[in-house]
Amino acid sequence: MVGGVAGIVAHRGASGEFPEHTMSAFEAAVAEGADAIECDVRLTKDQHLVCLHDRTVERTSDGTGAVSELDLADLRAMDFGSWKRPGHAESVVTLDELIELARTSGRKLFVETKHPVRFGAMVEQKLLATLQRHGLSHPDDPADAPVVVISFSGSAVWRVRRNAPGVPAVLLGEASRLLGGGAATAVRAQGIGPSVDSLRERPDTVAKARAAGRFTYCWTVDSEADVALCNGLGVEWIATNHPARTRSWLRG
């Protein structure tokens, strides 16, 4: 995001056209000119962070089971592409692999921690250790950090801010929850992340966040009217499943 123009975040990659969280979706996001990529992360049974949204693999692969009960090798043996593009088999993507793509392509990452109850804070611990290993925990300029952690969980945001003060964090939720600023202040979030549905109801959320020194990350913005709404309000980051289309609407 540069000079007041909204930054485009490819939600689960360019997931409108490509199978979410696959390398084809992430590479298409880069090719389509997205400024950043959003991904969800979950822990496998053998403690690898993988880019997957659901608790189980049934919807987006040819396998079965809960991610937390499967090893990375089990996931590697599954096809995460053909459900969306028949005949195009794809591998699960690890967070390490996505970080490498982001590094080589110069894209920012918005990493969302998903929370299997039995793992609790282990997801953040593993995420922060991964960022540390890649040298991403202490950005020169936090306002231009290469990785932002996003979460619906206030506890997760608070733990990230406490344990990695250089890593920015966004508290996700409905605008009505974020509007007053108290929830974000309590967990020291630098940004708020309302859904676009809730932002339509309370567009004043963006100006209030800015007045409190916070940026806004809005999801999931897939219609021209919603892109115009976010751009008009000065939303800093627009997460969309369709980066190329969003880019053309913003130019238009």
**Residues catalogued as catalytic:** 11, 53
Q: Which residue is nearest to Ca ion (CB)?
A: 112
CB of 40 to ligand G3P, least distance (A): 5
The answer to the question of residue 236 lying near Ca ion (CB under 5 A) is no
20 near Ca ion, rule: CB under 5 A? no
Q: Which does 189 bind (CB under 5 to 8 A by kind): Ca ion, ligand G3P, none?
A: none
Q: Least Å distance between CB 40 and Ca ion?
A: 4
Nearest CB to ligand G3P, comparing residues 46 and 102:
102
- Strand extents, DSSP E, 138-248: 147-151, 169-173, 191-194, 215-218, 237-240
Report 110-129 residues binding Ca ion (CB under 5 A).
112
Residues near ligand G3P, by CB under 6 A: 11, 38, 40, 53, 112, 172, 219, 239
Task: In whole angstroms, give the CA distance from residue 72 to residue 10.
Answer: 25
Which residue number, 206 or 239, has a Cβ lying nearer to ligand G3P?
A: 239
Q: Is 66 exposed, middle or buried (0-12, 13-18, 19+ CB in 10 A)?
A: middle
Q: Among candidates 197, 242, 243, 232, which has minimal Cα distance to 5?
A: 232
CB of 241 to Ca ion, least distance (A): 11
- Of 32, 40, 90, 236, the one binding Ca ion (CB under 5 A) is 40
Please provide the distance, in angstroms rounded to a whole number, between the alpha carbons at the two ends of the chain: 17
Nearer to ligand G3P, 35 or 38 (CB): 38
32 binds, among Ca ion, ligand G3P, none (CB under 5 to 8 A by kind): none
190 to 229, contacts with Ca ion by CB under 5 A? none
Structure tokens at 101: 């793509």
Could you tell me the CA-to-CA distances from 228 to 155, 200, 202, 247 in Å, in that order? 33, 11, 15, 11
Residue 172 binds which entry of Ca ion, ligand G3P, none, with Cβ cut-offs from 5 to 8 Å by kind?
ligand G3P
| Per-residue DSSP letter, 48 | -
**Are the C-beta atoms of 90 and 23 separated by less than 8 Å?**
yes
> Following CA atoms 93, 102, 120, 176 in sequence, which dihedral angle do they give, to the nearest 10 degrees?
-120
Residue 151 DSSP label? E
Contact 82, 24 (CB under 8 A): no
Residue span binding Ca ion (CB under 5 A) among the ranges 37-45, 62-70, 78-86, 175-183: 37-45
Q: Which does 239 bind (CB under 5 to 8 A by kind): Ca ion, ligand G3P, none?
A: ligand G3P
Closer to ligand G3P by Cβ: residue 24 or 240: 240
Q: Is 160 left (phi over 0), alpha (psi -120 to 50) or beta?
A: alpha
Select from 14-22, 33-41, 156-164, 196-204 the region that touches Ca ion (CB under 5 A).
33-41
Binding site for Ca ion (CB under 5 A): 40, 112
